[in-house]
C-alpha cells in the first residue's frame, strides 16, 4: 500500500519533470543511479546482516522475550530486540497487537516498537557512510535510551 | 588494486561469511535464505522510486531555496518542514540516509537533517494509521507524541555533542555527491 503510493508520487514527479525539461530529467535519473550505485555495497552488506539476524531472532523469539519478560528486564530485552531487527511495520504491528492481546505488557511492546523504528543496528554501515561513525553511533545509542523512556510513557498512558 | 573491487571488498567478505553461516548452522539455513529473498524483494521494490525522487529533488530544488527554508536560520519553519518531509516519506529508514545527504548538500541545517531522519523513522503517517488500527489509538498517539519530543531532544543533543570539524567534514562529503 505504502509502496504503491510511493510509486505514484515518483511517477507523477517524473512525468512533470519530463514535460518541463527533458535534459534535466535525464540528469536527475543519472544522479539517481549514481547515488544508488554509490551505496550499493553497503546495501548488500545490510541485506546479509538483516537475513542473519532475522534467522536467529525470528518472530517466535520476539514473542517469547516480549511475552514472558516482564518488568524492567523485559523492557530492556524488548528494546534490544527492536534495535537489532529490521521488520516492516505491516509485519511488526499485527505481531505486536497479538502479543498485547495475549497479555504482554504495553510498556514492553512500546519499547519494542519504538526501538524498532528509531534504532537500526543492522543499517549502521549505511548510516556511517553518510554521517560518519560518531554521529551514527551517537544517534543510535541516544535513540535506544530514549525508546526505553518512551516505553514507560506509553505504558503509563495506556494504563490511564 | 582495482577501485570498484576495493569498494566491494567488504561485501565479498560479508557474503562469504554469510555462506559460512548457512553451511555451519543448518538449523538457521532455511530462515536465513527465505529472509534474504524477502529483504532483497523489499529493497528492490522500494528503492527505485526513492532514488528517482532523490534525483529529481537534486535537480529541481535550488540551493538558495533549501537554505532559506531549512538552513541554519530557518527556525521553527525549518523544523516543521523537516518533520513534514520525513512524515510523508515512505519506505524503511535506510531510504532516508541518501535523501538526507542530498538535503545536506542543498544547505539544510544539521539539526533539521537529524529531525528529518527521526521523522522518517517514527512519524510516518501511513504507518501511524496502521499502528492505530493494530495497537489502538491510545498506544499509537502517545508513542507518536513522546517520539516527537525524543526526535527533537536527540537532534539537539547530537548537534551539541558533535564537534564543528566533524560536521564540516560531513557537509563537504555531501557536497561531493554528484
pLDDT of residue B143: 95
How many residue pairs bridge chain A and chain B with CB atoms within 8 Å of each other? 229
In whole angstroms, what is the distance from residue A51 CA to residue B66 CA? 38
Q: Does residue A21 form part of some domain? A: no
| Residue A57: domain span | 40-159
Helix, strand and coil in chain A, % to nearest 5: 90, 0, 10
- How many domains would you assign to chain A? 1
Phi first, then psi: give them for residue B60, nearest 5 degrees.
-95, -25
Under DSSP, the state recorded for A120 is -
Any chain B CB within 8 A of the CB of A35?
Answer: yes
A96 neighbourhood in chain B, CB within 8 Å = 134-135
Question: Taking CA atoms, what residue in A is nearest to B136?
Answer: A97
CA distance A81 to A117: 11
Residue with the bigger pLDDT between B47 and A144: it is A144
Q: Are residues B161 and A146, on separate chains, in Cβ contact within 8 Å?
A: no
Residue of B138, B48, B86, B32 lying closest to A118 (CA atoms): B86
| B104 — pLDDT class (breaks 50, 70, 90) | very high
Using a CB-CB distance cutoff of 8 angstroms, which residues of chain A are in contact with residue B7? 41
Q: Where are the domains of chain B?
A: 1-45, 61-175
Write out pLDDT tens, residues B106-152: 999 999 999 999 999 998 888 888 899 999 999 999 999 999 999 99
CA distance A84 to B177: 29
Residue for grid cell 543510535: A140
| Cβ atoms within 10 Å, residue A86 | 23
Residue A122: strand, helix, or coil:
coil
The tens place of each residue's pLDDT in chain A, 160 residues long, gives: 678 888 999 999 999 999 999 999 999 999 999 989 988 999 899 899 888 988 888 877 887 777 766 788 889 999 999 999 888 777 888 888 888 887 788 999 999 999 999 999 999 999 999 999 999 999 999 999 999 999 999 999 988 8
**pLDDT at B26 > cutoff 70:** yes
Residues of A in contact with B130 (CB under 8 A): 89-90, 93
CA gap A21, B165 in Å, rounded? 39
pLDDT of B85-102, one tens digit each?
Answer: 998 877 788 889 999 999
Could you give the CA distance from residue B17 to residue A72 in angstroms, rounded to a whole number? 35
Q: CA B65 to CA A127: how far, in whole Å?
A: 26
- Using an 8 Å CB-CB cutoff, list chain B residues near A157: 138-139, 142
Model ipTM?
0.89
Which of B8, B36, B101 shows the shortest C-beta gap to A130? Answer: B101
pLDDT of residue A48: 92
Task: Note whether residue A98 is domain-resident.
Answer: yes
**What pLDDT was estimated at residue A1?**
67
Does residue B3 have a pLDDT over 90?
Answer: no
Instruction: Report A:71-100 residues touching B (Cβ under 8 A).
Output: 86, 88-90, 93-94, 96-97, 100
Q: What is the pLDDT of residue A18?
A: 96
| pLDDT value, residue B35 | 87
pLDDT reported for residue A68? 63
**In the structure, what pLDDT confidence band is assigned to residue B1 with cuts at 50, 70 and 90?**
low
DSSP B92: -
Q: Is the pLDDT of residue B19 over 90?
A: yes
> Mind telling me how many Å the CA of B49 is from chain A's nearest CA?
5
Instruction: Give the count of beta carbons closer than 10 Å to the beta carbon of residue B110.
Output: 18
Q: Sort out which chain A residues have CB atoms less than 8 A from B117's CB and list them.
A: 139
Amino acid at each position: 500500500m505504502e509502496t504503491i503510493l510511493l510509486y505514484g508520487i515518483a511517477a507523477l514527479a517524473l512525468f512533470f519533470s519530463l514535460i518541463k525539461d527533458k535534459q534535466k530529467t535525464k540528469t536527475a535519473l543519472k544522479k539517481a543511479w549514481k547515488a544508488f550505485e554509490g551505496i550499493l555495497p553497503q546495501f548488500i552488506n545490510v541485506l546479509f546482516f538483516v537475513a542473519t539476524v532475522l534467522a536467529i531472532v525470528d518472530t517466535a523469539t520476539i514473542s517469547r522475550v516480549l511475552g514472558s519478560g516482564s518488568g524492567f528486564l523485559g523492557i530492556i530485552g524488548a528494546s534490544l530486540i527492536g534495535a537489532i531487527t529490521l521488520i516492516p511495520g505491516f509485519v511488526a504491528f499485527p505481531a505486536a497487537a497479538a502479543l498485547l492481546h495475549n497479555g504482554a505488557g504495553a510498556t514492553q511492546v512500546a519499547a519494542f516498537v519504538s526501538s524498532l523504528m528509531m534504532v537500526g543496528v543492522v543499517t549502521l554501515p549505511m548510516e556511517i557512510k553518510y554521517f560518519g561513525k560518531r554521529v551514527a553511533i551517537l544517534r543510535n545509542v541516544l535513540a535506544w535510551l530514549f525508546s526505553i523512556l518512551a516505553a514507560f510513557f506509553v505504558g503509563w498512558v495506556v494504563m490511564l | 588494486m582495482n577501485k570498484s573491487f576495493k569498494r566491494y571488498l567488504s561485501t565479498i567478505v560479508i557474503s562469504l561469511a554469510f555462506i559460512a553461516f548457512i553451511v555451519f548452522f543448518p538449523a538457521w539455513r532455511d530462515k536465513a535464505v527465505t529472509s534474504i529473498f524477502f529483504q532483497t524483494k523489499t529493497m528492490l521494490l522500494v528503492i527505485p522510486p526513492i532514488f528517482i525522487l532523490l534525483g529529481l529533488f537534486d535537480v529541481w530544488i535550488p540551493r538558495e531555496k533549501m537554505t532559506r527554508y531549512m538552513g541554519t536560520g530557518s527556525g521553527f519553519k525549518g523544523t516543521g518542514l523537516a518533520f513534514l518531509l520525513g512524515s510523508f516519506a515512505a519506505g524503511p529508514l535506510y531510504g532516508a540516509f541518501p535523501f538526507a545527504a542530498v538535503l545536506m548538500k542543498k544547505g539544510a541545517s544539521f539539526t533539521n537533517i537529524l529531525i528529518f531522519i527521526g521523522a522518517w523513522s517514527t512519524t510516518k503517517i501511513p504507518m501511524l494509521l496502521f499502528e492505530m488500527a493494530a495497537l489502538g489509538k491510545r498506544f499509537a498517539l502517545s508513542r507518536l507524541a513522546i517520539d516527537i519530543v525524543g526526535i527533537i531532544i536527540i537532534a539537539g543533543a547530537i548537534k551539541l555533542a558533535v564537534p564543528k570539524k566533524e560536521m564540516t567534514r560531513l557537509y563537504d562529503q555531501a557536497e561531493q555527491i554528484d
